[in-house]
Chain A
Amino acid sequence: MLDINPDKILIRYNVKVEDNMTADEAAEELYPTDNQIRLITKAIFEGDEDEVISCLKIAMDDGLDPLYLINEALMEGMEIVSRLYDEGIIYLPDVIISAHAMIDGIEYCKEMSNIPLEYNKGKVISFVVEGDIHDIGKTIVTILLRANGYQVIDLGRDVPVDDVVEAVKKERPLFLSGTALMTTTMHSFRQIKEKLEHEGIDVPFVCGGGAVTQDFVSHFDLGIYGEEAADVPKIAESILKGLNITQLREKFHRH
Chain B
Amino acid sequence: MTKTKFTRMAYNSADDMVFGRCKKPIKTGFDLEIGSGSTIPEINYAPRPEASKSPEKLISEYDRITNDILNRMIQLGVPSVVLETEHVQDMTINAKLGSEIAHIQKTILEEFYDEYGIKCGLRHTIADIRERKNHLDLKDGRFSLLMECFDSVASKGADLLSIESIGGKEVFDYSILKNDFRGILYSIGCLGAIDVENLWLEITKIAKKYKSVPAGDTACSQANTAMFLAGGLLDKNLAHTSAAVIRGASASRSLVANEAGAIGPGKDCGYENVILKAVTGMPVSQCGKSSSCAHSDIMGNLMMQCCDMWSNESVEYHGEFGGMSVQCWGEVLAYDCSMLNAAIETGNDKILRDILMVSDRYRDPQGFILSYDNAYEIGKEITNYTDDTYMRTKKAALKCCNLLIEGSRNKLNLSRFECTNLEKLRLELKALTDDSDEFQNECLDEYTKKVRGFIPGNYF
Cβ contact within 8 Å between A88 and B234: yes
Query: Given known contacts A17-B234, A187-B52, is B363 in contact with A97 (CB within 8 Å)?
Result: no
Q: Which of B47, B50, B363, B411 is close to A5, meaning CB atoms less than 8 Å apart?
A: B411
Residues of chain B contacted by A61 (CB below 8 angstroms) = none
- The minimal Cβ–Cβ distance linking A93 to chain B, given in whole angstroms, is 4
In the assembled complex, A182 has its CB within 8 A of some CB on chain B: yes
Closest partner residue, chain B, to A6 (CB atom): B362
Contact partners of A6 in chain B: CB under 8 A: 361-363, 411, 413
- Determine the residue in chain A with the shortest Cβ distance to B414: A15
Q: Are B89 and A96 in contact (CB under 8 A)?
A: no
Are B131 and A97 interface neighbours, CB within 8 A?
A: no
Asked if B46 and A183 make an inter-chain contact with CB atoms under 8 angstroms apart, the answer reads: yes
CA distance in complex: A108, B46 (Å): 47
B4 adjacent to chain A (CB < 8 Å): no
A17, B90: Cα distance in complex, Å: 46
Q: Please state if B239 and A91 are interface contacts (CB–CB under 8 Å).
A: yes
User: Chain A interface: which of B172-180, B266-274, B281-289?
Assistant: B172-180
Let me know if A18 and B177 touch, CB within 8 A: no
Specify which of B53, B89, B176, B351 is in contact with A2 (CB 8 Å cutoff). Answer: B351
Q: Which residues in A have their C-beta under 8 angstroms from that of B177? A: 92-93, 96, 136, 139-140, 143
User: In the complex, are the beta carbons of A10 and B363 less than 8 A apart?
Assistant: yes
Give the contacts of B36-75 with A (CB-CB under 8 A): 46-53
Is A241 part of the contact surface with B, judged by Cβ < 8 Å? no
CB-based A-B contact count at 8 angstroms: 118
Q: Say yes or no: A2-B236 contact (C-beta < 8 A), given A18-B417, A187-B49, A211-B316.
A: no
- A1/B52 in contact, CB under 8 A: no
With a CB–CB cut-off of 8 A, which chain A residues contact B373?
A: 1
A4 touches B237 (CB 8 A): no
**Residue A133 at the B interface, CB < 8 A?**
yes
Interface positions of A from 1 to 17, Cβ below 8 Å from B: 1-6, 9-10, 12-15, 17
User: A6-B362, A14-B233 given as contacts; is B49 within 8 A of A186 (CB)?
Assistant: yes
Contacts A18-B416, A91-B238, A133-B131 given; does A187 touch B354 at CB 8 Å:
no
For B178, the chain A residues whose CB sits under 8 A away are 93, 96-97
- What's the nearest-Cβ distance from chain B to residue A162, in Å? 15
**Which residues of chain B in 403-446 are interfacial with respect to chain A, using CB atoms and an 8 Å cutoff?**
411, 413-418
**Is B49 a contact partner of A15 (Cβ separation < 8 A)?**
no
Inter-chain CA distance A131–B178, complex, in Å, is 27
A15 to B411, CA, bound (A): 13
Instruction: Tell me if A184 and B234 are in contact (CB < 8 A).
Output: no
Total interface residues on A, CB under 8 Å, equals 44
Residues of B within 8 A of A183 (CB): 46-49, 316
Nearest CB in chain A to that of B61: its residue: A184
A22: nearest chain-B partner, CB-CB: B416
B15 at the A interface (CB under 8 A)? yes
Q: Is B145 an interface residue (CB 8 A)?
A: no
Pairwise interchain contact A3-B363, C-beta atoms closer than 8 A: no
Bound-state Cα–Cα, A131 to B233, Å = 32
A157 touches B133 (CB 8 A): yes
Q: In whole angstroms, what is the CA distance A4 to B47 when docked? A: 42
**Are the C-beta atoms of A184 and B46 separated by less than 8 Å?**
yes
Residue of A nearest to B131 (CB): A133
* With contact pairs A139-B173, A183-B46, A187-B53 given, residues A93 and B415 touching in the complex (Cβ less than 8 Å): no
Residue of B nearest to A180 (CB): B49
Given the complex of chains A and B, what is the CA–CA distance between A91 and B239 in angstroms?
7
Closest chain-A Cβ to B59's Cβ sits at a distance in Å of 14
Please indicate the chain B residues that have their CB under 8 angstroms from the CB of A96 in the complex: 177-178
Cβ-defined contact, B49 with A85, below 8 A: no
CB atoms of A184 and B233 under 8 A apart? no
Using Cβ atoms and an 8 Å threshold, which residues of chain B touch A85?
236
- In Å, the complex CA distance between A139 and B262 comes to 34
Could you say which of A139, A140, A156 contacts B133, with CB atoms under 8 Å apart?
A156
- 9 closest A-B pairs (Cβ-Cβ)? A6-B362, A2-B354, A133-B131, A92-B237, A187-B49, A184-B88, A93-B179, A14-B233, A15-B415
A-B contact sample (17 more), CB < 8 A, given A1-B373, A136-B225, A211-B46:
A2-B351, A2-B357, A4-B358, A4-B361, A6-B361, A12-B233, A12-B362, A18-B415, A18-B417, A92-B237, A92-B238, A93-B177, A96-B178, A131-B52, A136-B176, A183-B48, A183-B316
Residue ranges of A at the interface with B (Cβ–Cβ < 8 Å) = 1-6, 9-10, 12-15, 17-18, 22, 85, 88, 90-93, 96-97, 131, 133, 135-136, 139-140, 143, 156-159, 182-187, 190, 210-211, 216
User: Which residues of B line the A interface, CB within 8 A?
Assistant: 15, 46-53, 88-90, 131-134, 173, 176-179, 225, 228-229, 233-234, 236-239, 295, 316, 351, 354-355, 357-359, 361-364, 373, 411, 413-418
